[in-house]
Amino acid sequence: MNAKKITVILVDDHAIVRAGFRLLLATEETIDVIAEAERGEQILQLYSELQPDVVIMDLSMVGIGGLEATRRLVLRHEEAKIIVFSVHHEKVYVQRALNAGAKGYICKHAHPDVLITAIKKVANGRCYVEPNLIEDTENTDNPTDYRAIIDSFSPREFDVFLMLAQGLTPHKIAEQLCLSYKTVANYGTTIRSKLNVSSMAELAHIALLLNLMT
């Protein structure tokens, strides 16, 4: 019996770009492009109807744009797995996309295999940022030694940190670790306080910087 394919929706305002994506992904037997959209507004409706495993999202589009579409989609569907696929490689775009709730970020000039790798990793509940983009973000003015802080975590704090960074909700973590929701929420508060961050996206970004997302 054939394994279930990873379902994907492509969001880009250029038809020729979407056609190229579709041709590329058609070469991968485990991936199925089930729909396309040319505006961020359209993906909000399409996602509700089709429930894809992964959304490939351009940033620069007419209308609300990819960043706002990502933010709105994650707000409505916290389980949404979005990979930003953009011409922009600057650190600020990567950080804004992750903060909006994206689970991945790659550039359009990347090798085609990178997109396929990203789709598979994100579909399996992980985050993926193109390696050279992670290197670009390492040159930061933030003096925080994240590695030392994380090394000081208790085993349970570390487990919760990784699961939060992977995008799991506190309810799901509580279920998997056999803890109460309140206990997990308290761990989350402590972890964010120690790392001086305020969002799950920032936790994911730190985990990616330290190569903790396999």
Task: List pLDDT tens digits, range 159-214.
Answer: 899 888 888 889 999 998 888 999 999 999 999 999 888 877 788 878 877 777 65
pLDDT of residue 138: 45
Question: Is 153 a member of any domain?
Answer: yes
Q: Are residues 116 and 177 located together in one domain of the fold?
A: no
Strand boundaries in the chain, DSSP class E: 6-11, 31-37, 54-57, 82-86, 104-107, 128-129
3-state secondary structure of 36: strand
Q: Are residues 62 and 130 located together in one domain of the fold?
A: yes
Whether residue 145 has pLDDT greater than 70: yes
pLDDT of residue 140: 44
Question: Is 189 a member of any domain?
Answer: yes
Please name the residues in contact with 94: beta carbons below 8 A apart, sequence gap of 6 or more. Answer: 105, 129, 133, 136, 137
Question: Is 1 a member of any domain?
Answer: no
Strand boundaries in 43-197, DSSP class E: 54-57, 82-86, 104-107, 128-129
The residue that leads in pLDDT, 200 or 136, is 200
Q: Are residues 106 and 169 located together in one domain of the fold?
A: no
Question: Is 116 a member of any domain?
Answer: yes
Cα–Cα distance for residue pair 158/62, rounded to 1 Å: 41
H/E segment holding residue 40: helix 40-50
Q: Are residues 33 and 127 located together in one domain of the fold?
A: yes
Supply the CATH number for residue 178's domain.
1.10.10.10
Cα–Cα distance for residue pair 64/84, rounded to 1 Å: 15
Supply the CATH number for residue 66's domain.
3.40.50.2300
Task: Grade residue 150 by pLDDT with cuts at 50, 70 and 90.
Answer: confident
**65-83: average pLDDT:** 90
Cα–Cα distance for residue pair 21/110, rounded to 1 Å: 13
Cα–Cα distance for residue pair 185/98, rounded to 1 Å: 21
- What is the domain range of residue 166? 146-209
Q: Are residues 109 and 47 located together in one domain of the fold?
A: yes
3-state secondary structure of 55: strand
Q: Are residues 86 and 38 located together in one domain of the fold?
A: yes
Question: Is 214 a member of any domain?
Answer: no
Q: Are residues 131 and 33 located together in one domain of the fold?
A: yes
Domain count for the chain, please give it: 2
Q: Are residues 27 and 43 located together in one domain of the fold?
A: yes
Please name the residues in contact with 11: beta carbons below 8 A apart, sequence gap of 6 or more. Answer: 36, 37, 38, 39, 40, 42, 43, 55, 56, 57, 58, 61, 66, 69
Query: For 80-153, where are the alpha helices, taking DSSP H only?
Result: 91-100, 112-123, 131-138, 146-151
Residues listed for the chain: 214
Q: Are residues 132 and 95 located together in one domain of the fold?
A: yes
Q: Are residues 49 and 109 located together in one domain of the fold?
A: yes
Task: List pLDDT tens digits, range 192-203.
Answer: 999 888 877 788
